[in-house]
Amino acid sequence: MDKIKLNQMQFYGYHGLFPEENKLGQRFLVDLVLFMDLTKAGMSDNMIDSINYGQVYDRVQKVVEGKAKNLIESVAEDIANELLTSFDLLQACTVNLTKPDAPIPGHIQSVSIEIYREKKK
């Protein structure tokens, strides 16, 4: 399966279990792998045969900067659902959501989750 990757998209959101996270917000990083057949796009050189990266970014931004969730797992599910329902050519996606400033007492670079979802047939 062919892949389109969008790496290290940065957004500011209000997700988390702690009141400070919901009030102050924090950075979130999103990496995507979009699975689809890119043969036709490669042959035609026409955007209609691919997925517009700008539109993908806009949809992810809408989710991450939208309604606050307790868990980043839920945010990742919303991203995957948004993408799979918005783009007909998309067959599956991997969403990696990173919380670089997670409020953990100790030294940690980041916390992240990764999910893989396929379009329902």
Residues that are catalytic: 99
CATH of residue 87 = 3.30.1130.10
The total number of structural domains that make up the chain? 1
Range(s) of the domain holding residue 8: 2-118
- Judge contact between 84 and 63, C-beta under 8 A: no
The rounded distance, in Å, linking the Cα atoms of 30 and 112 is 9
- Judge contact between 95 and 32, C-beta under 8 A: yes
pLDDT in tens, 20-66: 889 999 999 999 999 999 999 999 999 999 999 999 999 999 999 99
Tokens of 87: 């783009």
- pLDDT band of 112, cuts 50, 70, 90: very high
The rounded distance, in Å, linking the Cα atoms of 3 and 39 is 11
